[in-house]
Amino acid sequence: MDKIYASRVNSPVGPLLLGVSARGLAVLSFAPEPPAKLAGKAVLWEYSDEAVSEARQQLHEYFAGHRREFTIPLDLRGTEFQLQCWDQLQRIPFGETLSYAEVAQAVGRPNAYRAVGQANHHNPVAIIVPCHRVLAGGLALGGYGGGLATKAFLLRLEGAHFHDEAATALRPPSLPFTE
C-alpha cells in the first residue's frame, strides 16, 4: 500500500488538503477528508506538515501573485485518457483559458469534450493542474469541484477573461430613468 503524507493549508479559497507521495504531489483537494483510494488503489495517509512544505510554499507564492508556474514534482494517477487531459491542462499558460472542446481536440479526441469534463472532475491536484482554466463554450465558467466562486477567484487572480455568471446574476435590474 502506498503511503501519502498529508497536511492542510489555509488559502484565500478556503482550506486545502495536500498529499505528497515519494514521487510527488498526488493530492491538492478542497475535500475535508483524504480519499480512501487514489486511482482505485487504497493508500495509507500519514499527516506531516514537513512533507508538504514545498507545495505549501509554492501555493503561498501563487496566491500572493508571485508565482505563475509550479515546479513541484507531481504524482498523477488516473486512466491514460485522464493523464493526457491533465498533461494538456498543465500546458495552458497562466492567465489563459481553453474550452472543453479545445482540450478534447488537443488530446486527439475532438468529440470527447464531455469526457474531458469528467477528467477535470477527477483531477486529483486542483490549482497546480489547472482545471480551473477550462471553460464551457462562450467563456462560461462551467463547473468546478471547488465551486464556481473559487474558479472565478482563481481566474481573476490570473487575469483571465471569462463570463462571470455570478456577477451577472447579482447585477440589479436596470430601471428606466424618470424625472
pLDDT digits (tens, 9 = 90+) for 61-101: 999 999 999 999 999 999 999 999 999 999 999 999 999 99
* pLDDT over 80 at 37, yes or no: yes
Is residue 85 flagged as an active site residue?
no
Can you name the CATH fold of 80-166?
Arc Repressor Mutant, subunit A (1.10.10)
Whether 2-63 shares its CATH topology with 80-166 is answered no
Per-residue b/e over 106-142, b at no fewer than 16 CB within 10 Å? bbeeeebbebbbebbeebbbbbbbbbbbbbbeeeebb
Domains of the chain, residue spans:
2-63, 80-166
Nearest CA to 155 out of 86, 19, 146 is that of: 146
CATH, domain range 2-63: 3.30.160
If one compares 23 and 166, the residue with the highest pLDDT of the two is 23
Q: pLDDT by residue (tens digit) across 144-163?
A: 999 999 999 999 999 999 98
Give the mean pLDDT of 163-169: 62
Q: Which of 28, 112, 131, 160 is catalytic?
A: 131
